[in-house]
Chain A
């Protein structure tokens, strides 16, 4: 009896000692290790419309997404097809992404309709999807983060009317027929221009500079009284700038473009381009990744988040707030190290 009691007391003391040691020295390390492993950095796949970083827009989206990943502690895997027209490739990449079992997927859909089955499959596999910039014809995506394209088209048209003479003849050069952005931007522009301008039939550049140049040249040749041009995306705007500069009619035909690049900004300074409606791709990338973090933490997120568009002119392009939008320095570079 006496002996066993002593043995048990000794055992108890040993247990206490072990627990103290564990609590003081091992646990904190184990906890931080566990933090790293479990709640630490879930992997999120960002599937862009294109991922060869030639387009400033997608480069800034990436910067925003990477900045957010750092701020909200997520691991990003950014993918995307060679160019915006490679819908098949993006569909394949989406199914590959589902197979890779990320915590969530951020998708900039290359096609409004054709990406729907892939998103449905992801949802079935338990992977939440948010769409960014370009959306899909389904509410399977938990949130749409991007520019309200109708609003942006309307702003572009309003901006053009400021520079044009009353009741101008206006040409609209859109990019990809059937894409949601093209459709919505056209719609917004048409709404504003209706009754205030004569709008020529919309033509499509296929988001190709040369095609846009050729189409613009054709329109400029066919319409001597042309009073304004709306170009609905960046390569289209570039093509139109080239044609307009060559035509020498930049003084009398105001051009309003959409989206940004170095060339477009130079043209803005030059005066060939009167104004530019820019999206906020950094905020788009940032907010979509932050939304994913909120999703993973089961916080409510709005179904639709408009990141807005901003009218840039030669006068306001060097204001501090716009400088940062137009000439972003690489913000996503790791803070330390």
Chain B
């Protein structure tokens, strides 16, 4: 398993959270922002374009009224209907045309044409262009359409007057016999109206008539030279609405509104990159905030992790020392959180371990001491001398069977008594061991005492700590029976009481006073070293106190009772 430090994990997760949230927030907000921008832009452009269209409609409508007024003027009608060369009438018409022109500054000129060569103008002094083809107003012919009486031109250069080329938009009302009233509008008016509308940094408005001719375009010449491209046919097919399309290397939003009155389509051209330019600002700002938050997140993660991982690192170093066996250290952790408590708990645990280890050492020491004592008691030289003396004596007395019996008993005593590495043996063997001892002593002391060993049936294979009975029996013999006048008796019984194995060594010796017994119970004396040895070994081996109890009555005898756990196999 790859181990990643808490600090790295914290920093990475902080960063992940910050990046994800900022990313989601940034992208969604800038998408929403862009959509809003586009919608706002489209609706406002549509409004502007529609407005321009209405202004133009009103304007052209007003001029159409002027054309109708001219057509209805009685002098003009007279001029149309009487073909003669009436100079007075002609000058009256000219004055009327001049007055009509003077109505508004944005009218360039007004013409009335009766037949080729017969054109009256509002510009009386200027005169007609001497080189005019056929001397007639012919421009409107391609524009004639069924249903509409007044014809509106696109932008054109008026060349009817001598030495003058002016950009105009012309309105003409022709009759079937080619009598014409024509008003020329100063083109600058329309141009200025269109120029006043700017869409974004480089967006603009242009106007196209129903034939696809440009009425106004800020870069008209470039369009005619095909240096600049407009998707005019698509826009005309749409008439009204919005079209987003790619032109050259930019995405263009066309917004069109078509007038039913003039047939002109006003087209707003805006560029998507400019529409979105403020959303780029938002995007940059978001990115910067994200960067800042990221830095702060890293800083915070670093700080937080320092508060956690530094104490942990300290703890880990202490633990490593403990692993090498140094239990003497005290863990000191610089922290003001749970880790401080953890360190404190660790210290407590270490202290407990330390104490347990000391206990353990003491017990081992004790056990060694007890074993040594036991061994010493086993090979008690007095017992051995005495027994060997007895055997020698029996031999001298030619008591062969007695000597054999005693020697056999001594051999069995040592065979069972000397450990073969195991602390545990069967109750049968333990009983055999104590019986050998009692046999030997019985032979030595003769009638001074009697003994019996009674082990309940079925528990002879029970397991127990070895050499518990012999020291107690020895005590009973030397301290109970021997000081007594007259014969005594030692009874050893073994039985099972529930989950306990109960062994009782009972004598009818001198007994002990309560005082002596108390002293015995509280502290082992040098005299009763055997009793203390047994008690201590039981405590260490079985881990229980009170496995040995002594009851005694002065002059009546003593009973030592061992209560041990009943064990049948070594593992149990």
A and B interact physically: yes
Which residues in A have some Cβ–Cβ distance to B below 8 Å? 1-2, 5, 8-9, 12-13, 15-16, 19-20, 22-24, 27-28, 31-32, 64, 67, 70-71, 262, 265-266, 269-271, 280, 282-283, 286-287, 314, 318, 320-321, 323-329, 331, 333, 335-336
Which A-B residue pairs are the 9 nearest by beta carbons?
A19-B292, A28-B281, A336-B198, A23-B285, A269-B131, A321-B224, A23-B288, A23-B289, A323-B157
A328 touching B221, Cβ below 8 Å: yes
Closest to B215 in A: A320
A282 touching B285, Cβ below 8 Å: no
Binary contact track B69-90/A, C-beta < 8 Å → 1, others 0: 0000000000000000000000
B285 touching A335, Cβ below 8 Å: no
Binary contact track B195-230/A, C-beta < 8 Å → 1, others 0: 111100010100000000110001111101101000
List chain A residues, Cβ under 8 A from B288.
Answer: 19, 22-23, 27
- With contacts A19-B289, A28-B281 taken as known, whether A329 is within 8 angstroms of B167 at the C-beta atoms is yes
B157 touching A327, Cβ below 8 Å: yes
Give the tally of cross-chain contacts (CB within 8 A).
Answer: 118
Q: Point out the residue from B129, B198, B292 that lies within 8 Å of A15, measured CB to CB.
A: B292
State the CA gap A22–B218 with chains docked (Å): 40
| Count, chain B residues at interface, CB 8 A | 52
State the CA gap A17–B139 with chains docked (Å): 69
Q: Point out the residue from A9, A71, A282 that lies within 8 Å of B303, measured CB to CB.
A: A9
- With contacts A32-B281, A331-B219 taken as known, whether A336 is within 8 angstroms of B195 at the C-beta atoms is yes
Q: How far is the CB of B88 from chain A (nearest CB, A)?
A: 32
Q: Point out the residue from B154, B156, B163, B202 that lies within 8 Å of A71, measured CB to CB.
A: B202
A67 touching B159, Cβ below 8 Å: no
State the CA gap A189–B447 with chains docked (Å): 169
State the CA gap A271–B195 with chains docked (Å): 37
Closest to B218 in A: A335
Closest to B285 in A: A23
State the CA gap A162–B41 with chains docked (Å): 55
State the CA gap A321–B165 with chains docked (Å): 15
A20 touching B289, Cβ below 8 Å: yes
Binary contact track B105-133/A, C-beta < 8 Å → 1, others 0: 00000000000000000000000011111
Asked if B404 CB lies within 8 Å of chain A CBs, one says no
- With contacts A23-B289, A23-B292, A318-B156 taken as known, whether A269 is within 8 angstroms of B129 at the C-beta atoms is yes
A2 touching B300, Cβ below 8 Å: no
State the CA gap A304–B252 with chains docked (Å): 29
List chain B residues, Cβ under 8 A from A283.
Answer: 221-222, 225, 227
State the CA gap A12–B285 with chains docked (Å): 19
State the CA gap A8–B295 with chains docked (Å): 13
Asked if B336 CB lies within 8 Å of chain A CBs, one says yes
A280 touching B225, Cβ below 8 Å: yes
Q: How far is the CB of B412 from chain A (nearest CB, A)?
A: 76
B221 touching A270, Cβ below 8 Å: no
- With contacts A15-B295, A269-B131, A318-B156 taken as known, whether A333 is within 8 angstroms of B227 at the C-beta atoms is no
State the CA gap A23–B295 with chains docked (Å): 15
